[in-house]
Amino acid sequence: MDWEKIGYDVISTDEMYIMKSCEDGRFCEGCLIPYGPILVNPNSAVLNYGQGLFEGMKAYRRKDGGIQIFRPQENALRMQMGAERLLLCAPSLQQYVDAIKQVVAANKRWVPPYGKGSLYLRPLLFGSGGVMGLAPAPQTTFLVYTNPIGNKYKGHSGDLNLFIEPNFARAYPGGTGGIKNISNYSPVFQVAKEAKAKGFSDVLFLDAVEHKYIEEVSSCNAFILKGNVISTPPASGTILPGITRKSIIQVARDLGYQVEERRVSVEEALNADEVFCTGTAVGVSPVHSITYQNKKADFKTGEQTVAKKLFDMIRGIQVGDLEDKYSWTLKLD
């Protein structure tokens, strides 16, 4: 593996973890199996009705060669929340973390060297049992696979330039925007493709009711900075409660910034000093510009920004360069 050239391509690793629910609704003991295709019934609830969730996590190599994972318990809790909404069996916190530890240990040769990237972990939870009517599956499958990735998010060669989509909404009040439901993501494909064809990095979606408050980018949370105040849309059901988002809020407050979780209007976002996005895939990514109704607003980026300071803090904890005073990381050695 040429770690200098690693990007965001699909790479087959060695093993994956699988666990299925038993008749009593609890999970039977899981196991590692060779990475590869899985059998799914054509009448499964996940294929017919989209009854499924996924998570995204990363394992990092430290300077000393050890491996650590960032906040796996938070992913487990978020999956449990989504499972309750979709009537899926959910792995316990211990089952989830044990599965993550096993699959990383089995694929540790695929964890890039320090500073070269990370091992992306993709836990899946889906209704694998067959149904003929609109009903939850009688069996749930929990699966975790891995893929080494580079430091740059696919398609993002630098600072982001976003396009505000005024007509299509990503999520609706009372819907599933607040969980990592598999069916939340494919509806953004068309809009994102059209935006990228025009030279934009991604799409910033607005609320579905008034179409005047920013919510999320296709797959990451949004923040704005004005003076000493950092604002981000509230996790009130239409945006994903991101784990990087939660971490940034904590770190920013500890650094002395006033952080507000509230509705942020388009006008306010366009007049911000800085805008940045957060997520497992993108980390903390500065936004260079936002275009809305043919008007372009530019923002401060670079080494002297708050976004860069927050990125350095979070990344330092993730890779073991900074003291983890929050006990966020799980060391595997």
CA dist 14 and 16 (Å) reads: 7
Contact status, residue 250 vs residue 326, Cβ threshold 8 Å: yes
pLDDT tens digits for range 285-297: 999 999 999 999 9
- Which residues are the active-site residues? 180
Class of domain 15-150: alpha beta
Q: What is the pLDDT of residue 158?
A: 65
Q: What is the pLDDT of residue 153?
A: 57
Contact status, residue 93 vs residue 77, Cβ threshold 8 Å: yes
In sign, the C-alpha dihedral spanning 315, 100, 182, 246 is negative
Q: What is the pLDDT of residue 164?
A: 97
Q: What is the pLDDT of residue 36?
A: 97
CATH number of 160-319: 3.20.10.10
Helix (H) / strand (E) containing 295: strand 295-298
Contact status, residue 173 vs residue 224, Cβ threshold 8 Å: no
Query: In this structure, which amino acid lies at residue 63?
Result: K
Compute the chain's Rg from CA coordinates.
20
Domain residue extents for the chain: 15-150, 160-319
Residues of the chain where predicted confidence (pLDDT) is lower than 50: 154-156
**Model pTM score:** 0.94
Biggest CA pair distance of the chain: 58
Contact status, residue 53 vs residue 82, Cβ threshold 8 Å: yes
